[in-house]
Structure 1
Amino acid sequence: MYSSAGGKQIKVYALGGTIAMVPGPQGAVPGLTGEALIAAVDGLDQVATVDAETFSIVASPNITIGAVVDLSQRIRGDAAAGRWDGIVVTQGTDTIEETSFLLDLLLTDLNIPVIVTGAMRNPRLASPDGPGNILAAVRVASSIAAQQSALHLGVLVVINDTIHAASTVLKANSHRLDAFSSPASGPVGAVIEGRTLIYSLPNRQPILAAGRLLKGPLLEGPVPVALVSTSVGDTGWLLEAVADGRDEGHYRGLVLDAMGGGHLPERLVPSVAFIAERLPVVITSRTGNGSLLLDTYAYAGSETDLRDKGVISAGWLHKFKAAGLLELLLRAKASKAEIRSLFTEFN
């Protein structure tokens, strides 16, 4: 634990990822503990009293929805105990856009800041960004702005001195330091000279509506949701397999990453309509930016045609976030009507 006289009490949960990498036989592998991560951050003791715990040491592709649910329960317990003024989660950047959103959905009534951060450069590279991102995350978690507006901000992603809402943040580049953006809304703030500046508040209405459906117990095991993208060359065979029940393990829901404003090739529509009769089918835009259309086109495979066939519009929600939300709703045993009503909040 790193102590700061008169500072806030901040808990750090370390999950692994690039920020925690060490040299392996052929390349970097996760290995640093939470204590080792905060020990590398100069000046952290001047910001807050920080206690680090190693929750897991995995590469970000290996984080599961079940692990995020477990982490949310730990964080909720921390908040109930009143010991910490804020929470920081460190993890790999590959899945931050998903895991932060899952935490946001599961912690809608939390009145302390929850910040997720990571790194694009591992500690063995020149100018690693992990220590600076941890320092910025702890600064935000300790700030008056975040403390007073925690319920209105929800879970935040702080990286490269930029503050993003978990509901809109995306990893938009595979390798650059400024890999993260919020194309639909822009960032909500920034860290400048150690100060936390909040520019705007995210749209919390659909997140809060989802949180109300997720208050009860969740199924512990996975509830598989398929995420299928479409292209001009798509034969539809994968959708036919799902429609016929030939998908191994049988998916419980489907997210279709469609073209433009929410459109599919006409040849795919029969399979999609058949699936929608028995499973919740949610449609997103493969553009990754902008809301789906509701009433512009009426050809076979258009947004109005798909709606008439029972397909649910995800509105402005990104495909990865839509898939995570759908699985949480299914784990909460939400009905198809409840799922449809909830996704309407994002339109």
Structure 2
Amino acid sequence: MQSRFVVLGTGGTIAGTAADTGDHLGYRAAQLGIESLIAGVPALRGFPVEAEQLAQIDSKDATHALWQALAQRVSQHLARPEVAGVIVTHGTDTLEESAYFLHRVLAPRDKPVVITGAMRPATALMPDGPQNLVDAFTLAAVPGARGVLAVMGGSVHAADTLRKQHSYRLDTLASGDAGPLGFVEAGRLRQLRPWPEGDALGLAAVAAPVDAWPRVDIVQSHGGGDGRVVRALLAAGMDGLVVAATGNGTLHEALAAALDEAAAQGVAVLVASRCAQGGVIEQPGQRFDSAGLLTPAAARIELMLRLLTKVS
């Protein structure tokens, strides 16, 4: 039986188009189908490929329903013995969130899931999507590759440390203090650290209708802050709050007081750092749980999954 790769398209800039080849900002995302994207890259003709259009959206509009469907389809394809790996094309705005969700739910141990995208639309004079797709296939074909990975601009990152670091540059993905997992160079992977590890929650953990998933939002600590946003969210009905805190998890005293009120009413609170590097180092006697090295976006998913599965 010949091994093959499955590509799941979800839209994004990699599938975007603009009337002007020099327009890298005013394009419309998610205009081209995944089969069209693959057909436009001659270097992929040597790979046995199955293409499936799972969604066609600008990733800023990603939903829990998309994450649920994505996890289900990725899991189904990974279970097929003839599938060597799954590649997902995705918009970069929420790529890190989808990747972290798949990492926590699936944590594949014997096959890779590689997510890629683009910072320029397909109609750009020099689009980055085609090379990113080639690099994704190259990474997925590496013997022993496993886990949820992301590759763009030749840099490879593990989903558990992934974040978008720049709003415009092609090398938009980063891994914080952990650094990249490796680099795809001239059709080969130069690996710097081990494949990602993690215990999978499993699809059953996210099988409930998404309307029943816990409501978790992010609030930010900043100068001049107060507790009005927290109290408004409490009035709207919240299950959890992630705080994008200053420094090493420090909180404006007025915000902290409102968070104390929320915790007293049973709302779970998780504190992440809003800093681009580092995280929150736990200290004795801290008021709320720490998100460690997770970004606020990843911490929101982590807290939602904890509440969904009752993991403490």
TM-score, normalised by the number of residues in structure 1: 0.82
Match of residue 71 from structure 2: 72
Match of residue 152 from structure 2: 159
Residue 233 of structure 1, CA deviation: 1.2
Q: Does structure 2 conserve the Cα–Cα contact (< 8 Å) formed by 1:69 and 1:106?
A: no
**Are residues 130 and 27 of structure 1, via their aligned partners in 2, closer, same or farther at CA, if it must alter by over 3 Å?**
closer
Please give the alpha-carbon distance, in whole angstroms, between the structure 2 residues aligned to 1:329 and 1:294.
Answer: 19
One-letter amino acid matched to 2:129? G
**Are residues 105 and 55 of structure 1, via their aligned partners in 2, closer, same or farther at CA, if it must alter by over 3 Å?**
same
Match of residue 187 from structure 1: 180
| Worse-matched range after superposition: 113-122 or 102-111 | 102-111
One-letter amino acid matched to 1:263? T
Please give the alpha-carbon distance, in whole angstroms, between the structure 2 residues aligned to 1:17 and 1:191.
Answer: 22
Matched, 1:259 2:254: no
Matched, 1:196 2:189: yes
Q: Does structure 1 conserve the Cα–Cα contact (< 8 Å) formed by 2:90 and 2:115?
A: yes
Residue 161 of structure 1, CA deviation: 0.9
Match of residue 22 from structure 1: 17
Where do 4+ consecutive residues of structure 1 move more than 6 Å? none
Corresponding residue pairs, total:
304
Please give the alpha-carbon distance, in whole angstroms, between the structure 1 residues aligned to 2:106 and 2:281.
Answer: 30
Residue 163 of structure 1, CA deviation: 0.5
Matches within 5 A, 1:265-304: 265-277=252-264, 278-295=266-283, 304=285
SS of the equivalent of 2:179 reads coil
SS of the equivalent of 2:93 reads helix
Please give the alpha-carbon distance, in whole angstroms, between the structure 1 residues aligned to 2:172 and 2:206.
Answer: 35
**Are residues 86 and 214 of structure 1, via their aligned partners in 2, closer, same or farther at CA, if it must alter by over 3 Å?**
closer
Q: Does structure 2 conserve the Cα–Cα contact (< 8 Å) formed by 1:218 and 1:331?
A: no
**Are residues 117 and 142 of structure 1, via their aligned partners in 2, closer, same or farther at CA, if it must alter by over 3 Å?**
same
Please give the alpha-carbon distance, in whole angstroms, between the structure 2 residues aligned to 1:203 and 1:141.
Answer: 14
Matched, 1:323 2:304: no
SS of the equivalent of 1:81 reads coil
Match of residue 114 from structure 2: 115
Match of residue 178 from structure 1: 171
Matched, 1:246 2:235: yes
**Are residues 217 and 69 of structure 1, via their aligned partners in 2, closer, same or farther at CA, if it must alter by over 3 Å?**
closer
Please give the alpha-carbon distance, in whole angstroms, between the structure 1 residues aligned to 2:60 and 2:77.
Answer: 26
One-letter amino acid matched to 2:44? L
Q: Does structure 2 conserve the Cα–Cα contact (< 8 Å) formed by 1:10 and 1:85?
A: yes
Residue segments in structure 1 that go unaligned for 5+ positions in a row: 1-5, 296-302, 340-347
One-letter amino acid matched to 2:14? I
**Are residues 66 and 114 of structure 1, via their aligned partners in 2, closer, same or farther at CA, if it must alter by over 3 Å?**
same
Q: Does structure 2 conserve the Cα–Cα contact (< 8 Å) formed by 1:214 and 1:329?
A: no
Cα deviation digits, residues 2-40 of structure 1 (max 9, x gap): xxxx98411000000000013479742421111001011
**Are residues 202 and 274 of structure 1, via their aligned partners in 2, closer, same or farther at CA, if it must alter by over 3 Å?**
farther
What root-mean-square deviation, in Å, do the aligned CA atoms of Structure 1 and Structure 2 show?
Answer: 2.1
Please give the alpha-carbon distance, in whole angstroms, between the structure 1 residues aligned to 2:202 and 2:133.
Answer: 32
Match of residue 220 from structure 1: 209
One-letter amino acid matched to 2:271? I
Give percent identity, aligned residues only: 31
Q: Does structure 1 conserve the Cα–Cα contact (< 8 Å) formed by 2:221 and 2:255?
A: no
Q: Does structure 2 conserve the Cα–Cα contact (< 8 Å) formed by 1:122 and 1:128?
A: yes
Please give the alpha-carbon distance, in whole angstroms, between the structure 1 residues aligned to 2:141 and 2:40.
Answer: 19
TM-score, normalised by the number of residues in structure 2: 0.91
Q: Does structure 2 conserve the Cα–Cα contact (< 8 Å) formed by 1:14 and 1:57?
A: yes
Q: Does structure 1 conserve the Cα–Cα contact (< 8 Å) formed by 2:226 and 2:252?
A: no
Match of residue 3 from structure 1: none
